[in-house]
Structure 1
């Protein structure tokens, strides 16, 4: 994305504006924001906006929350594994010991 201009938009509140950017955005960048850049089928079905269309970029795919959820799930899984790891190691030792006796 390349910023080519800056402007102010009214917010609806008295004496308040919102800074807005005029940008050039490539189709690949727009597809990534919409989470449609991974698979050929998604890329082919992506409806590109036309001149004058409003595109709710703030409603794009939320990668941050997806990463946070994945990290939380990994942490929870590790915590559960760490709780049973000593028991699993003892069990593996017993099985190995029994296998050694049978040889």
Structure 2
């Protein structure tokens, strides 16, 4: 079972991009799967939204690894000539905001 869900954004993220994102998050020992978009994000700047599915605190090693993961994701988008996400939004199981990077 996935620990996190990564919102798809069909305007910004294609299948190859999503695979890169899932691999980068997998390097944090997170089992991640894509999920349907839940918000309309069509502006110039866009956010990568991740949903944490477990109740309880997020492990410290995950929290400390997320900034580097976001940097790698941004590097990927720049390398393929696309606009990278402006932020990473981490939402909890109840859709509440847990963290913004």
If the TM-score is normalised by the length of the shorter chain, which range does it land in? under 0.3
TM-score normalised to the size of structure 2? 0.20
Structure whose CA Rg is larger: 1
Could you say which structure has the higher helix fraction?
Answer: 1
**TM-score if structure 1 supplies the norm length?**
0.20
Point out the structure with the larger strand share.
Answer: 2
- Choose between structure 1 and 2 for higher RCO, CA contacts under 8 A separated by at least 6 residues: 2
